[in-house]
Every structure is written in C-alpha cells, then in structure tokens.
Homo-oligomer: A and B are copies of this chain.
C-alpha cells in the first residue's frame, strides 16, 4: 500500500486480516515510554506485529492469544524477526484475567477490549499505562469510559493521520490517494508512579 512503510523486523512477517500499522505502533512506543527495562502484557496477539515491535524494545512481552492458529503464526513471525527470546505467547483468553503483576504497559486490541480494562488495571504497576487500539468511535468511547471506571487517570483518545509526500522534479505534493484511517488509540495511566 502506498504510504505505508515497514521496518526490517516486520518486513518478513506474514499479515493476518488486520495488523496494527507502524504509524500506530509508533504512538504506543513513544507515548508509553516502553524501554529495555519494561514488562509488557499484550492481547490479543493476532499476527503478532505489535507484540514483535514491543519485544524489540522491552525486557519481556507476554502476549495473550487463545486461538492456536494465530498463536503459531505469531511465534513464526517473532522467530523471523529475531525477538522470540523476549516474547511469550500465552494460550489464554485475556478476558479470563491477566496473570502478570507489576507490568509497565498493557496493550489491548480485541473485539471487546473494554472488558479487559479491569484486568489491565490489576496487572499494571502504579504509573503504568494501558493502550487500546480501536477502529470505531463507539468502541473508543466505551474503552475510554471503562478506563475511567476502572480507576485509571489522564485518559486520552487520539488518532494518527500519516501523510506521504512525493518529491519529484515537478515539485513536492502529498500522494493523491492512500490510507485515510486505521484506528483510534485510547490510553490511560494507573495513578502517579
């Protein structure tokens, strides 16, 4: 697709029906401040793109996926990307609860992400953050309100619009057609660190 760029670690990965694109992964990386000391919980794994990008920078990522075929696809992708040492795919539905405690970051991308928000709250350390990736406005609203009800602070809803430019002898201009929407990102913080 015009206007979409993939880093080396994702170039050889297979895509399932819907992956989080680098423009949105970038928001999660930069706004969360996830780094080499971070413990991250991710759900659902899907093709594993977000989990791989997180495992590329974090100390450990545990990604929840109850559908075996996706869990295997993600493991294959993580191996190709060279990040399997830092990524554990856990065969479990995240709506049944998160086992980890003291996480720095929880990322949620599933149909009922708002229902996993209380589990995210339990899993996070103080000052930790939850991020939801949501295609529709109504879901985003439900996720936002679930964050407030679960006790999170500083909830925000944002959208990243990328524009790609053509640089040619005739002049510079944005591409005429391209991607106009992927999803909204809602995030919130568990108290002061």
Which chain B residue lies CB-closest to A128?
A: B8
The list of the 3 closest CB pairs from A to B, nearest first, reads A136-B171, A7-B33, A26-B26
CA distance in complex: A15, B156 (Å): 23
Asked if A33 meets B5 with Cβ closer than 8 Å, knowing A167-B141, A167-B144, the reply is no
Q: What residues on B are CB-neighbors of A3 within 8 Å? A: 158, 180
**A162 interfacial contact with B, CB 8 Å:** yes
- Identical chains bound together, number: 4
B35 and A25 contacting across the interface, CB-CB below 8 Å? no
A138 and B172 contacting across the interface, CB-CB below 8 Å? yes
- Interface hits, A56-89 → B, CB 8 Å: 56-57, 83, 86
Q: What residues on B are CB-neighbors of A167 within 8 Å? A: 140-141, 144-145, 155, 157
Which chain B residue lies CB-closest to A10?
A: B33
Asked if A172 meets B33 with Cβ closer than 8 Å, knowing A145-B167, A159-B163, A160-B23, the reply is no
A157 and B165 contacting across the interface, CB-CB below 8 Å? yes
A179 and B181 contacting across the interface, CB-CB below 8 Å? no
